[in-house]
Amino acid sequence: MARTGLYLSDVRKARDALLAQGRHPSVDAVRVALGNTGSKTTIHKYLKELDAEDGGAGGRKASISEALQDLVERLAARLQEEADERVVAIEAVSAEQARQHAGSVRDLEQQLLAVKDQLRLARGDVEREEYGHAQTRARLESETILRHTAEQQVIDLKERLDENEAHRRSLDEKHSHAREGMEHYRQSVKEQRDQDQRRHEQQVQQFQAEIRQLQQSLIAKQDEATRLNQEGVRLVADLSHAQKALYDEQSHGRQLTRQLAALQSAAQSAQVIAVQLADRDAQVITLKERMVAETGNLELASSRIRELELAMAATQATLEAQRELVAELRAHLSTQDAKAG
C-alpha cells in the first residue's frame, strides 16, 4: 500500500543509495530502502520517471538485459499491484466475513447463554420434579397407610353407628314419652294459667267495680259532709241569732218583769223560743255526731280503697310472676323440641 506523503525525491535518494552500494535499484530493493513503505506501483512509476530523466540527460542507451530486467520489474510491479488490489479486496471481504462471523459468534454466544439458562432451568425443573416425585411417593405411602387406617376406622365407626342407632331408637322412645308427658304438663299448665288469668281478670274487674263504688260512695259522703257542714254552719248561725234573741228577750223580760201581768203572752213566747232553742241545740249536736260518723266512714272508705289498691298490685305482681314462669316454661319446651329435632 502507498505510503502517505511518498515523493519522487524519496525514491531518488533510495535508488542513488542502492546504486552507490553497487546494487540494482529494483522496486522491491527501493521499497526495502524506504522502510517497506509505499506502493510498488508508485515506486515503479517514480523509478520510470527517474530513468527517463537520466536517459534524456546523458543519452545513455539501456542494454537488453537492463531492458528485460526493467520489463520484468514492471511486470512484477503490475502483478504486485494486482495482488495488492486482490489482497485489499480479500481483506475487505475477510473483514466483512470476520464482522459477520463476530456477529454470528455473538449471536451463537447469546444463544449458548440462553441454552445454558434453559438447561439450568430444565435441571432445576428436573430436580424439583424429582423432589416432587419423591414427595408424591412419600405421600402415596402415607396415604396408603392412612387409607388402611381409615378403612379400619370405617369398620369401627360402622359398629359404633349401629350401636348409636340402637341407642338413638331408645332415646327416641324415651323422648316420645317425655314429649307426651311434657305436652300433658304443658296443657295442664295452660289450663291452670287460663284459669288463673280468668280469675285474675275477674278479681281485677271486681276490684275496679268496688273501687268505683267506693269512689262514688266517697264522693256522695263528701257531698253529704259538705252539706252537713253547711247545715251546721247555718244552725250555728241560727243558734247565735237565737241566743242573741234569747239574750235580748231575757233582757226585755227583766225589763218587763214589772209588767208581768201585761206581758204573759211575751213570757209564753219566750218559753216557746226556749223550747225551739233546745231543739236547735239537740239538732246541732246530732249533726255534729253524724258529721263525726261520716268522717270516720270516709276514713274507713279511704283505708278500704288503699287495701284494694295494694291487693290489686299484689295480684298484678302474681300475674307477672306467672307470666314469667309460663315464658320460661315455653323457652324450656322450645329447647327440648329443638334438641329432639
pLDDT of residue 122: 81
Given a cut of 60, whether residue 4 has pLDDT beyond it is no
Average pLDDT over residues 117-135: 85
Average pLDDT over residues 314-323: 82
CB contact set of 236 (below 8 Å; sequence gap of 6+): 284
Q: How far is residue 4's CA from residue 130's CA, in Å, rounded to a whole number?
A: 70
pLDDT of residue 1: 41
Given a cut of 80, whether residue 61 has pLDDT beyond it is no
Work out the widest C-alpha separation in the chain, in whole angstroms. Answer: 236
Q: How far is residue 180's CA from residue 329's CA, in Å, rounded to a whole number?
A: 15
Tell me which of 19-23, 183-187, 270-274, 321-325 is least confident.
270-274
Choice between 298 and 206, residue whose per-residue pLDDT is larger: 206
Residues, the chain, total?
341
Tell me which of 13-22, 34-43, 59-68, 151-160 is least confident.
59-68
CB contact set of 47 (below 8 Å; sequence gap of 6+): 11, 15, 25, 27, 30, 73
**What confidence category does residue 60 fall into, taking pLDDT thresholds of 50, 70 and 90?**
very low
Q: Hunting for cell 454466544 — which residue is that?
A: 109
pLDDT of residue 214: 75
Are the C-beta atoms of 4 and 41 separated by less than 8 Å? no
* Average pLDDT of the chain, as a whole number: 78
**What confidence category does residue 292 fall into, taking pLDDT thresholds of 50, 70 and 90?**
confident
The x, y and z cell numbers of residue 125, run together, are 425443573
Average pLDDT over residues 120-134: 84
Given a cut of 50, whether residue 3 has pLDDT beyond it is no
pTM: 0.27
pLDDT of residue 222: 77
Burial of 51 (0-12, 13-18, 19+ CB in 10 A): middle
Tell me which of 30-39, 80-89, 93-102, 193-202 is least confident.
80-89
Q: How far is residue 147's CA from residue 207's CA, in Å, rounded to a whole number?
A: 79
How far apart, in Å, do the first and last CA atoms of the chain sit? 113
pLDDT of residue 311: 81
The three-point CA angle 316-318-321 to 5° equals: 110
How distant is the alpha carbon of residue 87 from its chain centre?
Answer: 84
Tell me which of 57-61, 132-136, 195-199 is least confident.
57-61
**What confidence category does residue 232 fall into, taking pLDDT thresholds of 50, 70 and 90?**
low
Given a cut of 50, whether residue 194 has pLDDT beyond it is yes
The x, y and z cell numbers of residue 281, run together, are 241545740
pLDDT of residue 2: 40
- Phi-psi region at 39: left, alpha or beta (left = phi > 0; alpha = psi -120 to 50): beta
User: Which pLDDT tens digit goes with each residue over 237-253?
Assistant: 776 776 777 677 677 76
Given a cut of 80, whether residue 136 has pLDDT beyond it is yes
Are the C-beta atoms of 19 and 66 separated by less than 8 Å? no
Average pLDDT over residues 198-220: 81
Q: Hunting for cell 459468534 — which residue is that?
A: 105
Average pLDDT over residues 49-56: 75
Q: Hunting for cell 527517463 — which residue is that?
A: 52
